[in-house]
Chains A and B, each alone.
Chain A
Amino acid sequence: MGKNRKKVQIIVLLFAFVIGGYAIFQTFTNDTPGTIKEGQAVPDFRLANLQGEPISLQDYNGSPLVINFWGTFCEPCIREMPSFERQYEEWKDKGVEVVAINLSEDTLTVSNYVKKLGVTYTILRDVDRKTEKKYGLRSYPTTFFVNPNGTLSSVFVGEMKESQIHEHIEKIVGG
């Protein structure tokens, strides 16, 4: 009985430790479901650009990436776009990519606005708000700064000033 008893003890306590540990660990990571934490990989996507070609997250593997969600109905989104354009011009030689995902609006609306704003970075088109939901968006605009290895560096909710965009990009280029 002596030997067996030790075995049972170790197995039961190990089970309690592993299952219990997992459950307790979950409470620290899962407090707001749907949102992405810094250091986690950002959700994958494969969406059409304005030319109708598929662009996916993997295409930016190894590059510091800025993902900005915008809609033509969102005035602060439109206001910050010229700042993103200038920052893109400033950083693109260092490999920084900017992707602006439109909030599931239709073709005419998006292309007219992009023409009017004259932005040169990549515009992608979300479908049925799926990507937006995967990214756990709560309000617009929201911008994700992604490290070259595909993990999240930081999130900014609301309109960004050019200096703020600059600071956030510096971090993903450095890291």
Chain B
Amino acid sequence: MTDPNIPVTEDELHAYVDNELPAERRGDVEAWLTAHPDDAARVRSWRTMAEALRARYDSVADEAVPRRLEIEQLVQQPRKWVYGAIAAALAAFIVGGGVGWLARGASAAPSAIQSFTTEALDAHRLYVVEVRHPVEVPGSERAHLQKWLSKRCGWVVRAPELTAVGLKLVGGRLLPGPAGPASFMMYESASGERITIYTAKSDAEATQMRYQEQGKENSLFWADDGVAYAVVSSGIDRERLTPIAQAVYDQLEKSGG
């Protein structure tokens, strides 16, 4: 044991708390702290500080790692994706140009769900052919997109993870809906097919999932707790669209959105 009468320095107090102090000096510091309540209080406050830090930030390490941070995602070449998307959007434009307007309803007083699906289809047709600016916030900023849309829309907006059904998030944007703001998200398959998810406040009754074909577009829609959802595609048949909508539905249910 070293001489307990050697005064303990500030550095040693820190080293003591951080387990950096040589073992033979620990006893001296402990004796010092008993005799010096001011220093003992400071050491305690540093320990409390460490606990507060861990209480605040340890949960971050327990969160599921976002997809954009997965190693597999990061080692992929991002370039291929962009060219595929451009080619696919051009094809969609050539094949589908102008067909959409046929579907506009002639009904004088549309029901809540009708006006909702009309908006959803219009948004889909308008943006699905867009090559350079299909979305305002790209899918690479998923967390920001969700936060921003949730804030603007007033309900929890989630961009569901649809890689299991072969779709990647292109991104999303904010749109005017039938009654206030609406969230709009676009997904794309490896071969460039695009589906969109449109969400808005709606007076529509809570419904089971319904299917609708209108011109070239087909959609599945439902309403839940005052918020209506539509999953819209151009030319993806019902058998393929149903599991996609189901995946969207399941994930929104789980997140309580």
Partners in one complex: no
On A, residues with C-beta under 8 Å from B are none
On B, residues with C-beta under 8 Å from A are none
